[in-house]
Amino acid sequence: MIKISFFLVLVISSISFSTKIKSEELEPVHYAYSNYLGSGIYHTTGQSVTLINLPFLIELGQEENTTYSLRLPVSLGFFDFNFEDIPELDLPDSVGTLTFTPGVQLNYQYTDNLVIESYLDLGYSRNLTTDKDVLVHSGGISSLYSFDVGKYDSIWASRIYYAGYNGHNYNAADLYAAIQIGIETGLPVKYQLFGYNYQPRLFATAFWYFTEVDFNLPSDPSQKSSEKNSITLSNSLEFGVTMEFDKLIGYSWAGFDTLGVSYRFSENINVVRLLFSFPI
């Protein structure tokens, strides 16, 4: 059986992770990490670029306790498209960045309550406005433990992952790694929305980065100014609420079973996230 999950994300930001590398000039490549930033509207400065993430996942099959899946996440970036353009359906004129990071994912049902997930991606990211591209690689492992507290069904998630990139025929490179822990709890009630039954759920999660992550925010290429702003992030917290539906909304090849909103924050960045999948 082939199952494809899909969600559409609008991310208003011009965010990149950059390490200090000896070079006269390194181009910030925020788009290289666009499939790993997480869905949301990232508020940092007035500068912005819109990223639309399409994290396709094809379930290939199952052998005993292991499920095999093919990851095909795609991200498109637009320099001339803002969140305010959505109600008027003012579509962007051209694509500014393209990221495609295919990979494999294994889910192992270790016990009735514990699932071990792992993935490995290797892909490509290109800035179509500068004709520069990078090779992107990422991997991680997670544990999801399900348990009940009275009438409240809960999931405890622990993750460790990394993502990095290397410039293709030019000097650019970066690598970061993070630990994430979080808990999600479902309320013992069910409601209905547009004919679909759903359960309200609450979650909280925290991120720690092994080294401080520098967010470089380059100017829109259509603007004359080339000034860059940067902030540093070492950890962050996130809280949110979701609706988990009993069945998939949409088509089998393009649907979602979760809808929610959250707020992620740290000393230097505030994020409003739109959620269309498991939030932690």
Say what the pLDDT of residue 243 is. 95
The residue count of the chain comes to 280
**Residue 2 — very low, low, confident or very high, per pLDDT cuts 50/70/90?**
very low
Say what the pLDDT of residue 234 is. 78
Return the amino acid letter for 158.
S
Average pLDDT over residues 45-70: 78
Do 241 and 261 meet the contact criterion of CB atoms below 8 Å apart?
yes
Say what the pLDDT of residue 212 is. 66
Do 163 and 75 meet the contact criterion of CB atoms below 8 Å apart?
no
Do 69 and 105 meet the contact criterion of CB atoms below 8 Å apart?
yes
Residues 85-130: tens digit of each pLDDT: 555 555 556 677 788 999 999 999 999 999 999 999 999 998 887 7
Average pLDDT over residues 210-233: 54
Say what the pLDDT of residue 35 is. 81
Residues 3-275, CATH architecture:
Beta Barrel (2.40)
Do 69 and 107 meet the contact criterion of CB atoms below 8 Å apart?
yes
Say what the pLDDT of residue 17 is. 36
Every domain of the chain and the residues it spans: 3-275
